[in-house]
Structure 1
Amino acid sequence: MKIFLYILLLFSCVFLKAQEKEFWLIDSQTNQKIMVKDSAAAVKYLDSLTQNYYYFTEIKNVIKEGNKTQILFDKGRNYNEAQVHLSEEMVQNFKYKPDFFTKNLDSLKKEISEKYRKQGFVFNRVKSQFKGMKDEIPLVDLTVVKSAERKIDKIVLQGYEKVPKRFMKNLENEYQGKSYQEATLAKLAQSLQNHPFLILQKAPQTLFTKDSTQVFLALQKKKSNSFDGVIGFGNDKTDKFTFNGSLNLNFRNMFNSFEMVNIFWQRNPDKGQTFDLQTDIPYLFKSNIGGNFKVNIFRQDSTYANVKFTPALYLHLRNNQKIGVRGTFETSSVIDSLYVQGRDYNKQGIGLWYDYTEPTEIELFQFKTRLRLEADYITTNYSKDNIAANQTQYFISGERNFQISGNNYLNIKAESALLSSKNDFSVNELLRFGGWNSFRGFNEKSLFADLYYFGTAEYRYLVGSQAFFDVFGQYGEFQNKSLSLKPKLYSFGLGFNFFLPIGLMSFQISNGNEVGNPIKFGDTKIHWGILSRF
C-alpha cells in the first residue's frame, strides 16, 4: 500500500510540474536569458528598463512552444543624457532650475535622493518619466516618492548597559527625536569616540520597523584605571645631576558612575614636592550637576609649604563640555625663619571655569582639541604683616592636533596665566610652571612668575597605530615683578611614544634656555614614562 502511495505522489508532482508555464526573456543584443515566473513579471521587467534609460525598448518576437514562452526584446540605446524637468517641490526645496540639461541623469537622481535622505526621508525614490525626444535628446520628468520621514525614536544600548542614567538621558535629549540622517549617526559615534569610560565597538546600527526607528549602540566598558609614572634626569640650580619624577594613579568608573579618584605625587630636581588628591563625581543625584574636590600640597624643601583646597560644582553643557564654579581655600607657612622671600598667608576666593574636549580617532593622542579657561577672584590675608589684598587670577590653555597629510600631524599648544594685585607677591604664592607637561627643557615647577605665556609646535609622525615620533619647539615669556625679571625663553627636543604590552611608553630629550644664551649640553633633560591602564 505504501509503495502505491509513493508512486501516486511521484506522478502527481511530475504532472503538476508539466502544467507550469515558463516565461523566458531573451536580450537580442547579448543573448542573455532571464526566466521570470509569469507574464506580469515579464511586463514589470521590461518597464524597469525605461527607468534605467532604455527608452526605446522593443519586443521583437514572442514564441510559444507548449508551456514555454520566449520573449525576444531589443533594449536599444541607453540615454543617460537628458533634458530634465523637475517637480515644483524639488525646485522650491533645493533651489534647482525647473528645466535644464544633464550629462548624467543617474548621478542627478542620486544627488536628489541624497538630499531627501538628509531631510529624513530615508526610503525615498526618485522616478524618471520619459516624455519624448527633441533633437535626439530624451525629455525626462523627475518626481520623488518620499515615503514617511524617519526620526530617531529610541537609542538602545547593547553590551555594557550600566552607564549613568543621566548620561543616557543626555544622549536621548541630544539625538532622540532628531531627523534620521547619516550625519546624525556620525556625530553620535564621534561623541563616543575615545570616550574615557566607553568603547563603541562598531558603528551605530539601525532597526527600521513600520512605526519606529531604533538606533543600537554596542558598548564595552573601557579599562580606564591608569598608572602613569615618569622618571626625569637633569641638573638642578647648582648644576648637580639629579633624579626626579612623578607618579599619577587614577581609579575611574569602578562603580559605573563615571567617577574618578586621582592621586598624584611629583618631585622636582630643586627638592620641591607636590601631592594632589582629587575626586570627581560627574552626575550628582542623577542630575547634570557634577562635583570636583581637590587638595593640593606643595612643599619646597625645608623652606615653605602650601596647602590648597578647591571644591567645585559644574554643569554638563554636553558630554564634552563643562562650565563650573569653584571655591579656593589656601594657606601657606614659611618653615625656615631665615627665608625672607616668603610670607605666611591665607587665601579665600571664588572662580569660574570652562572645559571643552573634542575626541580623537587616534588612540595615541589624548584628544583632538582641548580648551580650558579659568578666572578667580581671591582675598589674601598676610597674617604676620596684618595686610589684606585682593587678587585676580586667570588661566587659559588650548591644544589642537592637525593632520597635515597621511601620517603627518602638527600639534599646536598655547598656555598663559596671570596673577594680578596692587600688592607685591611673595615667592611662595607665585605661579609655578615648567617641566614634562609644561615648558619642556626646564626642571619641573622651576619657573616662578606672576605672568607667563608660551606656545608649542610639535611635529608628529605616526608609525601605524602603535607609535609616533615627534620633534618640537617652544617659545615663551614670563614676568616676575618682585625680581624685576622678564626673560624670553625657548626650548626644543624630540621623543617617541609607542605601545607595549604593559602600556604606552614615552621617551623625550629636551633642552631650553633664555633667548640670547648659548645652548648648554649640561642643561639637557631626559624623561622616560609609562602609562598603563587596568
Structure 2
Amino acid sequence: MQKTLFLYLIIYIVFSSEIFCQTLYLKIDGENTMETTTIDSLNYFKKHENYTSIKNEVDSLQKSLYRIGYIENELKFIDRINDSSFAAKIHLKRKYNVIHIYYDKSIINPKLINAISNKVFDNYFSVPFSELENTLSYINSKISEEGYPFSKLYLSDIEIEKSNLKGNLIVASKNQKRVISDIIIKGYEKFPRSYLKHYLKIKPNQTFNLSVIKNKTQQLNNLRFASEIKPPEVLFSKDSTTLYLYLQKTKSNAFDGFLGFGTNEDTNQLQFDGYLNLNLTNNLNYGESFKLLYKSDENDQKTFETNLSLPYFFKSPVGLDLALRIFKKDSSFTTVNQTAKIHYQINAKHKVYTGILSTQSNNLLSQTTTSILDYKTTYYTFAYQFLKNQNYNLLFPVNSQLYVESNFGKRKQSNQQEKQTLLSLDAFKIFNLNYKNSIYLRINGSTLNSNTYFENELLRFGGINSIRGFEENSIYASLMSLLNAEYRYQLNNSIYIHTITDLAYFENKISNTKEKLFGFGFGFGILTKTGLLRFNYANGKTENNQFKLSNSKIHLSFTANF
C-alpha cells in the first residue's frame, strides 16, 4: 500500500504541471472587417500558456504592422472573455505605402541609391515602406564595406507628405575610415607572406571589410599545405585595425606508386611494371613544390622526370616552373624535354602560364632508319589551368580540373626546319549525385600537327593514367582522344568501389592507322591512415578484336601523405 501511494506521489510531482496547465486562446480584431482580414493575414499565434505570452504576441503583431506601413496603429484593449479566452482590438488607421528619403550625396554614393531604387530624384529617393528596413540594412552594409564598420543609419524628421511619408537619412559614426594596419598569423607563423598579398589579396593599408576577408581566407582550404582553423578576428583600437588569421600547416608531401602485372602476348610470361612518384610541397615554408617521377614498364621503357615550382618568385605576383623529362625506349631512342615557364595566379581557381619547351631526341639504333631520327624542337608555350576543390571529401578532394596547353615552334633535323603545333587538353569533373553516389568523367586529348612525323616524337599513351587495360605507353599516335568514365559508390568515408569504362581514338600518320580502343573493368579504393590504396582490374581491346582474359591488366597503386 505504501509503495502504491509513493508511486502516485511521484507521478503527481512529475506530471502535475502538465495536468493543470491551461491553454489560453487569443483573438485579435480590427475596427472593421477589412482591418481584421489584414491582421489575420499576418498569421499570429492564437494558443498561449499564460497572459505574458499573449501580451508579447500583441506587441509582436504591432511591430509587424509598423513594418508594412501601419505606423499609427493603436492597441485599444486586451480583455479576458472567459477562463480560457482573450480578445484584443487594434485600430490600424492609415497605411503608408511609400516613403521619400532625403540624403546627402557627399556621404552616400548616388550609384548605391540607383542600385536599390528605381525612383531616384535630385536629393531624395523613394522606396515602398514595407522594404524600408531591408533598404537601410543594405545601405549600411555597403557603407561598412567601404571601411566604416561602426556606421549606423536612421531616419530623422519623419513627416507626413500627402498620403506618403518623408524623412532625412542620417549616417552616424562615419568619422574615421578603417584600413588594415597589421596582419598577425596565429598557429602557423611561418606561413609564406607572399600568399597573403598575391593569393588571398589581403595586405596592410587595405580598406577593412570583414565579410570580404572571410570569403578570401576560405580560399586557404584550396592550398595543399595550409588550412584555416577558425574564422579571422579583428582587434580595433583608436588608431589601428589588427587582423588575426588562425592557420595550421597540413600534410602536403605525397608518395605515389603502383605495381602492375599481366601476361606478355609473345612469351606468355608474367611481366611486371610500375612507377614511383614523390611530391614534396612547402617544406621550406615558401609554398614551393618539387616532384620526382621514375617509371619503368614492361615494354622496356624508362621515364625520369623532375618538376620544380616556385610561386611568387622574389615576392612578385608571378611564379617560376622548371621541368626536366628523360624518356628511353629500350635501345631505340632517347628523348629529353626541358621546360621553363612563368605563371600568374589570377585567383584561387585560375592560373595562366607562358614559357619555352625544348626537346632533343637521339637515335640509339646502329642502323639508320627513316622513322627514328635525331632532331631538336623549340616550342613557345601558352597554358591555362582551372581547379576546383571539394575539401569535405577525403577520397576525392578535387571536384573538377581543366588544363589547356598550346605549343608553337619549329623542329630542326639536320639542316631542315619545319613548323609544328602541339595542342593538349586534360579535364575532369565529378558529378555528385548524392552523398554516396557520383560519376567521374575525364576527357584527355592531344594532337601534333606537322608535315612529316618521326616515331620518336609521337604521343605515347596507355596504362593506368590513360586507357586502362593496355600496357603503359604502348600506343604511339599523332592524334589521340580519350574518355574515362567511372560510376563511384562510397561505402563510407574511407572505402569506395567503381566501374571502369574507357574509350579512346587515335591516329598514327606514320603507319596511316586510325583505330578505336576500349577498356572495361572495376576497381576499389581504401583510405588508410598512411594513404590511399587503389586496385583496378581492366580488360582492353581494339575495335576489331574480341575480349581476351589474357589481355586483362591489374593495377595497384598507393598514395601516402606525410
Please indicate the TM-score interval, normalised by the length of the shorter structure. 0.7 to 0.9
Instruction: Report the AA paired with residue 385 of structure 2.
Output: D
Question: 2:294 aligned to 253, 257, 265, which one?
Answer: 265
Structure 2 residue 377 is the aligned partner of structure 1 residue 347: yes
Taking structure 1 as reference, are residues 418 and 262 closer, same or farther at Cα in structure 2, changes over 3 Å only? Answer: same
Structure-2 change in CA distance of 1:77 and 1:148 (3 Å): farther
Give the equivalent residue in structure 1 for 2:408: 377
Tell whether the 8 Å contact from 1:261 to 1:279 is kept in structure 2 after alignment.
yes
What's the offset of the Cα at 1:50? 4.1
Verify: 1:173 aligned to 2:204, yes or no. Answer: no
Aligned to 1:308: 337
Aligned residue for 1:396? 425
Match of 2:360 in 1: 331
Structure 1 residues 363-402: Cα deviation after superposition (integer angstroms, max 9, x where no partner): 322422211111112322223xx43322111111112222
TM-score (norm 2): 0.72
* 8 Å CA contact 2:199, 2:345 repeated in 1: no
The answer to whether the aligner puts 1:410 opposite 2:439 as a matched pair is yes
C-alpha contact (below 8 Å) 1:85/1:100 kept by paired residues: yes
Confirm or deny that 1:511 pairs with 2:539.
Answer: yes
After TM superposition, list the pairs within 5 Å mapping 1:79-478 onto structure 2.
85-88=97-100, 93-94=115-116, 115=138, 119=142, 153=180, 156-171=184-199, 173=201, 180=209, 182=211, 184=212, 187-205=215-233, 216-236=244-264, 238=266, 240-338=269-367, 340=369, 341-361=371-391, 362-383=393-414, 386-423=415-452, 425-478=453-506
- The alpha-carbon distance between structure 1 residues 124 and 459, as it changes in their structure 2 partners (threshold 3 A), is farther
**Distance change (3 Å), C-alpha of 1:60 and 1:396:** closer
Task: Provide Cα deviations, 1:137-181, integer angstroms capped at 9, x if missing partner.
Answer: xx9999998766898847653211322232111256369857847
Deviations, residues 34-55 of structure 1 (Å, cap 9, x unaligned):
9xxxxxxxxx999888435595
**Given the superposition, is the C-alpha separation of residues 248 and 79 from structure 1 closer, same or farther in structure 2, using an over 3 Å criterion?**
farther
Change (3 A) 1:236 1:173: same
Pairing of 1:15-34 with structure 2 (within 5 A): 31=50
Q: Is the 1:152–1:215 Cα contact (8 Å) retained in structure 2?
A: no
Contact 1:312 1:326 in 2 (8 A): yes
CA contact (8 A) 1:118 1:181 kept: no
Q: In the TM superposition, what is the alpha-carbon distance from 1:189 to its structure 2 partner?
A: 4.4
CA distance in 2, matches of 1:95, 1:507: 60
Cα pair 2:337 2:359 within 8 Å, conserved: yes
Structure 2 SS opposite 1:291: strand
The 1:86/1:420 distance shift into structure 2, 3 A limit, reads same
- Which runs of 5 or more residues in structure 1 are unaligned? 1-26, 35-43, 62-73, 133-138
Tell me if the contact between 1:116 and 1:146 (Cα under 8 Å) persists in the aligned partners: no
SS in 2 for 1:228: strand
Mapped partners of 2:241, 2:492: distance in 1:
38
Instruction: Report the CA distance shift for 1:87/1:271 in structure 2 as closer, same or farther (over 3 A).
Output: farther
Q: Distance in 2 between matches of 1:486 and 1:50?
A: 79
The alpha carbon displacement at 1:255 in A equals 1.0
Q: Map of 1:28-43 to 2, 5 A cutoff? A: 31=50
* Residue aligned with 1:285, SS: helix
Q: Is the 8 A contact 2:447 2:480 kept in 1?
A: yes
1:47 to 1:33, Cα distance in 2 relative to 1, 3 A: closer
Residue pair 2:99, 2:128 contacting (<8 A) in 1 also:
no
Q: Which moved more, 1:299-308 or 1:151-160?
A: 151-160
What SS does the corresponding residue of 1:440 show, helix, strand or coil? Answer: coil
Among the aligned pairs, what percent are the same residue?
26
Deviation larger for 507-516 or 261-270: 507-516
Aligned-partner SS, 2:194: helix
Whole-angstrom CA distance in 1 between matches of 2:99 and 2:286: 53
CA distance in structure 1 between the aligned counterparts of 2:152 and 2:525, rounded to whole angstroms: 49
Residue 452 of structure 1: CA displacement? 0.8
Residue number in structure 1 paired with 2:41:
none
Shift of residue 328 of structure 1?
Answer: 2.0
Consecutive unaligned residues of structure 2, counting only runs of 5 or more, are 1-25, 27-47, 67-72, 80-85, 102-111, 120-125
Change (3 A) 1:301 1:153: same
The partner residue of 1:523 within 551, 558, 561 is: 551
Q: Tell me the SS of whatever aligns to 1:224.
A: coil
Distance 2:484 2:560 in 1: 26
2:389 touches 2:399 (CA, 8 Å); kept in 1? yes
TM-score normalised to the size of structure 1?
Answer: 0.75
Deviations 1:305-330 (A, max 9, x none): 11121122222222443222222222
AA of the residue aligned to 2:441: I
Q: Deviations over 1:81-129 (max 9, x none)?
A: x96635346996445897879xxx8xx78865775576465887899xx
Per-residue Cα deviation, 1:215-244 (whole angstroms, up to 9, x for no partner)? 543211111111111111223453543111
Aligned-partner residue type, residue 186 of structure 2: Q
Query: How many residues in Structure 1 have an aligned counterpart in Structure 2?
Result: 470
